[in-house]
């Protein structure tokens, strides 16, 4: 069988690029690809890291059948256009849940116990002159998870071990989940003093955490965002942090990556990370493997392993 032509949107880990090169005739978009070559492309490896995949690109790819995304979130892909063109889209659901959940707990504790500030204090030689100020605590807190999906549940499993109360919000109450459900983010915020956002990005979750939610969270409230920057109204968050109407925030994602507002950088009640939720070597390797396997499964069997719900393709069993 001739190897299908696959377009790669942006550089991926070397082991993933090697696997793509083994299975397909690979074209690297960032190196420039002629239109007659693009017209042969049947598959695409996309990634959140590569920026948006829009209809103007699809228009140059008339033979495109499948987009395999490197990442579980696929808000980088114009799904309306993809569905209209009958494209199959896959993500890397499942293989990064535990890694992102680990990072979330690390960010939560770093924010509450002020771990980065404490380390700076020691490195700056200030310990000789006195002890680091007492920090807030996770003890006695109630944690609200916005989006109790694969990653949200992995976070909840960890939090069970920390002896804190847990509640959640999603569009629907989950029958098999014992944690209390709240029908709105604002109601959840009113009942909790930690909020963790782990929903998909895109239009339906844009500014789900806004000024009203932050006001409901209250002056002892802590917001952790490990989902997408668009989920939080960043201007409202900055205002709340500056005014002290919430206590602190830990952010792994931002509205405009990689452009973090100066106003956030100037605050000392935030912990800011450069979108590293899934960014360990082993997990990025697993994501790359699943992305390649999805392309291979599509071309060999017409049944990808982890299609996203919008494409209505049954996964292979
Ligand atoms: O709403 P539900 O009951 O379908 O629950 C899903 C929830 N969710 C939402 N909650 C409130 N408003 C929305 N508009 C909304 N849309 C979805 O988010 C579900 O509990 C959760 C998503 O779960 P999974 O599909 O299993 O996603 P996973 O793997 O946990 O990843 C979540 C996101 C990714 O899309 C990336 O943006 C980020 O985490 O890494």
Residue 241 phi/psi, 5-degree rounding, is -70, -40
- Please state which CATH number belongs to domain 5-93+281-301: 3.40.50.720
**CB-CB contact of 15 with 288 (8 Å):** yes
d(CA 260, CA 252): 11
* Residues composing the chain: 317
Show Cβ contacts of residue 198 under 8 Å, excluding neighbours closer than 6 positions: 100, 104, 145, 146, 147, 149, 151, 152, 155, 226, 227
**Annotation says 169 is catalytic:** no
pLDDT over threshold 80, residue 315:
no
Predicted confidence at residue 49, as pLDDT, reads 74
Tell me whether residue 228 is one of the annotated catalytic residues: yes
pLDDT digits (tens, 9 = 90+) for 99-125: 999 999 999 999 999 999 999 999 999
Specify the CATH number for 97-272; select among 1.20.20.10, 3.40.50.1380, 3.40.50.720, 3.30.420.40. 3.40.50.720
What span, in angstroms and rounded, lies between the C-alpha atoms of 198 and 101? 10
Q: How many other CB atoms are found less than 10 A from the CB of residue 309?
A: 8
The set of residues, in sequence order, having a beta carbon less than 8 Å from that of 17 and lying 6+ positions away, is 8, 11, 26
**Residue 317 predicted with pLDDT over 60:** no
For residue 216, pLDDT beyond 70: yes
Catalytic residue among 257, 289, 303, 310: 257
Is there a catalytic annotation at residue 275? Answer: yes
Tell me: pLDDT of 162 over 90.
Answer: yes
Give which of 311, 309, 307, 276 is closest to 290, Cα–Cα.
307
DSSP summary character for residue 229: G
Of 224, 217, 225, which Cα lies nearest the Cα of 243? Answer: 217
As a whole number, the mean pLDDT across the chain is 96
Percent with pLDDT over 90 in the chain: 95
From residue 96, how far is each of 65, 102, 121, 169 by CA, in Å?
A: 25, 10, 33, 21
CA 38–ligand 1 middle distance (angstroms) = 33
> Does 127 have pLDDT greater than 80?
yes
Q: Minimal CA–CA distance to 155: which of 197, 216, 208, 111?
A: 197
Can you tell me the distance from the alpha carbon of 115 to that of 7, in angstroms, rounded to the nearest whole number? 42
Q: For residue 151, which atom of ligand 1 is closest to its CA?
A: 30
Percent of the chain at pLDDT above 70? 98
**pLDDT at residue number 66:** 98
The most confident of the ranges 53-57, 294-298, 312-316 is 294-298
The finding on whether 171 has its CB within 6 A of some atom of ligand 1 is yes
Q: If we measure between CA atoms, which residue out of 182, 234, 236, 239 comes closest to residue 211? A: 236
Question: Would you give the DSSP letter of residue 225?
Answer: E
User: Which run of H or of E encompasses 285?
Assistant: helix 281-301
Arithmetic mean of pLDDT, 6-15: 95
46-88 residue pLDDT tens: 998 777 889 999 999 999 999 999 999 999 999 999 999 999 9
Kindly give the distance from the C-alpha atom of residue 152 to the centroid of ligand 1, in angstroms, as a whole number. 8
Choice among 27, 228, 255, 284 that is catalytic:
228
Radius of gyration, CA atoms only, the chain? 21
Q: Alpha-carbon distance 141 to 187, whole Å?
A: 16
Q: What pLDDT does 79 receive?
A: 95
Sole residue written with tokens 């895109």: 202
How confident is the model over 128-137, as pLDDT tens digits? 999 999 999 9
Residue 48: per-residue pLDDT? 81
233 compared with 311, residue with greater pLDDT:
233
Indicate the burial class of 47 (C-beta count within 10 angstroms; 0-12, 13-18, 19 or more): buried
For residue range 234-288, list pLDDT tens digits in order. 999 999 999 999 999 999 999 999 899 999 999 999 999 999 999 999 999 999 9
Instruction: Decide: 227 in ligand 1 pocket, CB within 6 A.
Output: yes
pTM of the complete model: 0.95
7 ligand 1 Cβ < 6 A: no
Closest CA to 9 of 77, 85, 73: 77
Is 307 near ligand 1, meaning CB less than 6 Å away? Answer: no
311 band by pLDDT with thresholds 50, 70 and 90 = confident
DSSP state of 50: G
The ranges of the chain annotated as CATH 3.40.50.720 are 5-93+281-301, 97-272
* Atom of ligand 1 at shortest range from CA of 173: 3
């Amino acid at each position: 069988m001739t190897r299908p032509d696959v377009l790669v949107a942006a550089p991926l880990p070397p082991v993933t690029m090697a696997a793509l090169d083994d299975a397909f005739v690979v074209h690297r978009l960032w190196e420039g690809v002629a239109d007659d070559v693009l017209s042969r492309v049947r598959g695409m490896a996309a990634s959140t890291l590569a920026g948006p995949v829009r209809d103007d690109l699809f228009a140059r790819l008339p033979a495109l059948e499948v987009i395999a995304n490197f990442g579980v979130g696929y808000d980088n892909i114009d799904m309306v256009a993809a569905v209209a063109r009958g494209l199959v889209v896959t993500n890397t659901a499942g293989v990064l849940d535990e890694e992102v959940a680990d990072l979330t707990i690390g960010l939560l504790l770093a924010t509450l116990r002020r771990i980065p500030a404490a380390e700076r204090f020691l490195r700056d030689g200030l310990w000789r002159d006195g002890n680091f100020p007492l920090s807030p605590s996770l003890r006695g807190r109630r944690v609200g998870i916005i989006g109790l999906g694969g990653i949200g549940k992995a976070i909840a499993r960890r939090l069970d071990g920390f002896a804190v109360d847990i509640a959640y919000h999603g569009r629907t109450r989950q029958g098999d989940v014992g944690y209390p459900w709240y029908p709105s983010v604002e109601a959840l915020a009113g009942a909790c003093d930690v909020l963790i956002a782990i929903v998909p990005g895109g239009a339906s979750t844009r500014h789900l955490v806004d000024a009203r939610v932050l006001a409901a969270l209250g002056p002892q409230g802590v917001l952790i965002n490990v989902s997408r920057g668009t989920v939080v109204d960043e201007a409202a968050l900055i205002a709340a942090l500056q005014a002290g109407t919430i206590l602190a925030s830990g952010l792994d994602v931002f509205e405009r990556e990689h452009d973090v507002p100066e106003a956030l950088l100037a605050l000392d009640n935030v912990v800011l990370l450069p979108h590293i939720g899934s960014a360990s070597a082993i997990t990025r390797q697993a994501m790359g493997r699943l992305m390649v396997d999805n392309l291979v499964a599509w071309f060999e069997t017409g049944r990808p392993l982890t299609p996203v719900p919008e494409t209505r393709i049954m996964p292979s069993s």
